[in-house]
Structure 1
Amino acid sequence: MSDPTGEEILQPGQLIRPKADSKTAADLVHRLYGLKAKLVSELNAYDDMNFRVLCEEEFQNPGITGVERDGYVLKITNSLDSRKTEFVEGQTAMLDFLEANGIRAPKPVKNLKNRFYSLEIVGDGAEKHVVRLLTYIPGDLLHRHADPSDELLTDVGRFAAELDEALKRFHHPAYDQHRTLWMLSSVPRLRDFVHAVDDARRRRLVNEVIVKFVEEVMGGMERLEKGIIHGDLNEQNILVDDEGKRVLAILDFGDSQKSCLIFEIAIALCYMLLQAKDISRGKHVLRGYRAVRRIPEVEMNVLKTCVCGRLCQSLVLGAYSHLNDPGNEYLLYTQKSGWSLLEELWELSNDALMQLWE
């Protein structure tokens, strides 16, 4: 099935995550990239599978000049997104653009066929998956900072705005019609998945947010400034310095999209509030963002609903995905404090929230 734009979007009951292990990853790295793995470890991932791979010094790949000392990330994309190869090419173009503009992100590596990706049947599956190799960037993930400093939260906001300002100069046709279930504009589709939440009171809360989102946000999207955004500035995708004060690099552009700019800061706020466990500290994220980009009043008016919409996506889709993949505990990360944050945030009026954040 697909949405009205023709884009395929995850349907209830659809299983899309690849099935692979460390041996599979090592074999792919050797066969596709001419590199010999000496250490392979699985990384957290939602619908995809990611592996960090450290390699021996010898290699057989004319597309590289030497083996990366810090290793690589082998990304095996879920079967649904693997059908969108033009979007994979768009991500590669975006990573090249960011490097040229001084924004640190992983670099794509060419395979033995001089391409940045290939379609492979992985394990015992029948579906083909996009397989890519990217450089590994060492550093602390923000999620390891259980109590992020005000300075770091401010820098996350600054980085989000500077990233979006830079991406105003980037274009690739793959982004013009690209749609996924994780876009904030897909919040209304949560109705198809909310059955995975086993608490009736929480299901009602999600439905309340959906109704408000459709009314407030979807009903006025033509007034919101558009651009290309990262789309998933969460604590697992942001690398910070050793002192925990500044953003060093950004990871995982699988949710990058052409959408409303206010969605970027709303998504970042969602995850930074989860990390800080204090709604009032969102003011630091906003301060950093607004130092670079002014937020029009029409966007500020829908910010709370957008943050709550993202919380609902993370909670509902996490619960749904865990039903189909009960061994992946990463899917339940938001559940630990997400429901209490959503309830607390939803009860605040816009005026009360803006007083906390101004």
Structure 2
Amino acid sequence: MDQATLEVRNRPNVNDKAAIELVNILYGFKVISIRELNGYDDKNLRIKCLEEDFDNPHVESVEKDGYVLKIMNSLDSKNISLVEGQNAMMLYLHQQSVSCPIPVMNSKGSYYSLEDLGEGKNNKNVIRLLVYRPGEILYNLEPSDALLRDVGRFSADLDEKLKGFSNSSLKSRDFIWMLFSIPKLRDYTYVIKDHRDRILVEKVIVRFETSVLDNIDHFEMGMIHGDINEQNLLVDSDHQTISGIIDFGDSQYSCLIFELIIALCYMIIQVKDIERGRHVIHGYLSVKKITELERKILKIGVCARLCQSLVMGAYSHLNNPKNDYVIVTAANGWKILRELWIMDEEAVFKMWGI
């Protein structure tokens, strides 16, 4: 594929003043504080509003902990059914007592609106206001073994709860961050500067195709969050348990084992220790069993997700060089990938206690 034809998701360029006006016009809230949060392709702003002075017939009271104003990039904003699917998943999980952001109705009684923010070319951006969920982001901690186990437990429990949820737009979703899309990484590997790393990524892609994609019919399918990582998990004050989850931008219908693979990958990166991944797996197994075939793809799955995060992170940074959030994985990711790839599979499984 020609490099020029690849889709670019530029983060919306909205200043604080414009964001405050959007909240007032769309939601009838008066903003008293605003600060930017991390975001990959979207603009995320933490806001607090006056609790006693608002004009929105669909809201009973203003949230004390505030909100996240989420301004979606114009490319993803073209898929309204996807936005509705993500909203539906968050609202469903909230009903299942999972702490996660939930959308707030605007003054017109809708959970989102499509606004022209002056990006040109008839581009519009989806605007949502989500209830802010307080808690320490796991990224800021050095996770204990107990916390890693709870990441695994939480991941399995989340997917068990999602068995009662279905959505047609999420079920038919196809995008670059799905593990199903690993072969598409070949279109982006030109961003990898080191020739040996490019060869390594190609080897991982081939192995993933033969070991995973060729056996796809043998894996249990269902709805998953799709991006359980150190930036998206909230930790309780005891630093031993997961208290909530945020960012449903990658929610999808996929292989359930992919949820464990993704969580395992990012926890290994967070602790910089492949062996300690065993605690994530054991926590997952305390809730949900895995098949022999699922066990066998854990190593290649983690390698594939590492490649996906490293390659797409480098590609996004090339197009948005001011957004260093997209290359967080690179700090430890390449080292872990090189180390894990050459390890004997059975030795890895023994190390992980499976």
Shared fold per TM-score greater than 0.5: yes
Q: Aligned AA for 2:313?
A: G
The ranges of structure 1 where at least 4 consecutive aligned residues each deviate by more than 3 angstroms after the TM superposition are 123-126
Deviates most, 87-96 or 255-264: 87-96
Q: Corresponding residue for 1:4? A: none
Q: Aligned AA for 2:282?
A: R
Name the SS of the counterpart of 2:56 in structure 1: coil
Over 3 Å counting, the alpha-carbon distance change for 1:72 and 1:125 in structure 2 is farther
Q: Corresponding residue for 2:333? A: 338
Deviation at 1:123, TM superposition (A): 4.4
Q: Corresponding residue for 2:10? A: 16
Whether the aligned pair in 1 keeps the contact of 2:10 and 2:320 (CA below 8 Å) is: no
Deviation at 1:16, TM superposition (A): 3.5
Over 3 Å counting, the alpha-carbon distance change for 1:298 and 1:236 in structure 2 is same
Q: Corresponding residue for 1:135? A: 131
Whether the aligned pair in 2 keeps the contact of 1:143 and 1:236 (CA below 8 Å) is: yes
Q: Aligned AA for 1:223?
A: H
Name the SS of the counterpart of 2:276 in structure 1: helix
Whether the aligned pair in 2 keeps the contact of 1:24 and 1:123 (CA below 8 Å) is: no
Deviation at 1:17, TM superposition (A): 2.5
1:193-225 alpha-carbon deviations (Å, 9 max, x no partner): 111111111111111111111111111000011
Q: Aligned AA for 1:256?
A: S
Q: Corresponding residue for 2:172? A: 177
Residue among 231, 235, 245 paired with 1:236: 231
1:293 and 2:307 correspond: no
Residue among 251, 269, 274 paired with 2:269: 274
Aligned counterparts of 1:264 and 1:117: Cα–Cα separation in 2: 27
Whether the aligned pair in 2 keeps the contact of 1:35 and 1:55 (CA below 8 Å) is: yes
1:48 and 2:54 correspond: no
Q: Aligned AA for 2:129?
A: L
User: How many residue pairs end up in the alignment?
Assistant: 349
Whether the aligned pair in 2 keeps the contact of 1:19 and 1:125 (CA below 8 Å) is: no
Q: TM-score by structure 1 length? A: 0.95
Whether the aligned pair in 1 keeps the contact of 2:45 and 2:70 (CA below 8 Å) is: yes
Matches within 5 A, 1:1-358: 12=6, 14-57=8-51, 58-126=53-121, 127-145=123-141, 147-358=142-353
Whether the aligned pair in 1 keeps the contact of 2:9 and 2:41 (CA below 8 Å) is: no
Which blocks of at least 5 consecutive residues in structure 1 are unaligned? 2-9
Whether the aligned pair in 2 keeps the contact of 1:111 and 1:117 (CA below 8 Å) is: yes
Aligned counterparts of 1:205 and 1:258: Cα–Cα separation in 2: 28
Q: Aligned AA for 1:87?
A: L
Which blocks of at least 5 consecutive residues in structure 2 are unaligned? none
Aligned counterparts of 2:9 and 2:252: Cα–Cα separation in 1: 23
Identity of aligned residues (%): 50
Aligned counterparts of 2:39 and 2:9: Cα–Cα separation in 1: 15
Aligned counterparts of 1:305 and 1:11: Cα–Cα separation in 2: 29
